[in-house]
Amino acid sequence: MANIAWRKDAKNILYNYPANQRYLRQLERELIYAQAPRREVCRRGGMADPTAFKGIQLDQGELGQLRRQQEAVERLLERLDAARRDAKYKRLLLEMVYFRRSHSLYGAAAYLGIPERTAHRWNAKMLYALAEELGYFDDSADDRPYLPRKTRL
């Protein structure tokens, strides 16, 4: 079963990318450089190795999910940079609308000198590619939205 709110989730991930990047770096620094919690002598069980404990904390839970989302956005940006045509305009559209939030989609299209329909098409392809990177679509079921199987950015 696919995530039916993939478009909204992809937009939220893109909107929060810069803030999440700073938050992730801060959490990693705090977790890595913080002292291990003091253990009581009579307490048994749990993990005795503080390094392994920190490693598990870095990879699981909210921090692990946040890291996977950030890596998916970075892969999307790499795909945009690897595209031959219009890569610069697509990257600027993404930055102005989602990262900096300085323009709406219409305003960014006007600023870049591209038609609004092209901006909408690029936006839809970028959101779809991000949702695909995050694994929102089930390959066995035919529940993908109406876009080609291999989205070319």
Q: To which residue do tokens 């048994």 refer? A: 44
Q: Give domain status of residue 152, yes or no.
A: no
pTM higher than 0.95: no
Q: Give domain status of residue 130, yes or no.
A: yes
Domain that holds residue 72: 6-35+48-134
Q: Is the pLDDT of residue 1 over 50?
A: no
Q: Give domain status of residue 11, yes or no.
A: yes
Mean pLDDT of 129-144: 75
Q: Give domain status of residue 142, yes or no.
A: no
Q: To which residue do tokens 């006007």 refer? A: 110
Structural domains in the chain (count): 1
Residue 2 pLDDT: 56
Task: Identify whether the C-beta of residue 98 lies closer than 8 Å to the C-beta of residue 14.
Answer: yes
Looking at the chain, the whole-number percentage of residues with pLDDT higher than 70 is 69
Q: Give domain status of residue 62, yes or no.
A: yes
Q: How far apart are CA 85 and CA 133, in angstroms?
A: 21
When mean pLDDT is compared across 14-18, 50-54, 97-101, 111-115, the lowest value belongs to 50-54
Q: In 8-135, which ranges are E strands?
A: none
Q: Give domain status of residue 43, yes or no.
A: no
Q: Give domain status of residue 146, yes or no.
A: no
pLDDT in tens, 22-37: 988 887 787 777 665 5
Q: Give domain status of residue 140, yes or no.
A: no
Q: How far apart are CA 112 and CA 106, in angstroms?
A: 10
- Reported as a pLDDT band with limits 50, 70 and 90, residue 5 is confident
